[in-house]
Amino acid sequence: MKLIDANVAIYAVGSMHPYREPCRRLMEIVDGGDHDLLTDSETLQEILHFMRRRDRAAVGYSLVSGLIWSLRSVIPIGAAEIGAAIGLLREYSQLDARDAVHAAVVQLHGLEGVVSADRGFDVIRGVTRFDPMEMF
């Protein structure tokens, strides 16, 4: 199983960008239900936050509702995930806090990696990033 990052959904509904079409294809796969993808609750919050800040709240609501319905699982973020994220932040000073949470989920839950356009994951030992552009 792979964790899907917020930027996949956001690029899929965004303006022209090199990641838009690969991310749209991924979201179609998610909608179809035949996949090995899941996410965590931080990803859903991130999508809602991002879309509301850009006055696209209704799109965010739709995206999150669709992900909840279509994904195999939504992993909750608890004390174990936050503790592991703190460890990653201490080890990788350049790492974004949200990315640390997602990476901690990947590690703690034994996932294959994270599907993301964010190269910040590339520095973390033991976390594989699956680039949406390279998945097709």
Domain count, the chain: 1
Look up the domain containing 8 and give its range: 2-134
Lowest mean pLDDT among 30-34, 117-121, 124-128: 30-34
Asked if residue 136 has pLDDT above 80, the reply is: no
Dump pLDDT digits (tens) for 25-66: 999 999 998 899 999 999 999 999 999 999 999 999 999 999
Helix/strand/coil (H, E, C) string of 19-65?
A: CHHHHHHHHHHHHHCCCCEEEEHHHHHHHHHHHHHCCCHHHHHHHHH
pTM: 0.95
Dump pLDDT digits (tens) for 60-110: 999 999 999 999 799 999 999 999 999 999 999 999 999 999 999 999 999
CATH number of domain containing 33:
3.40.50.1010
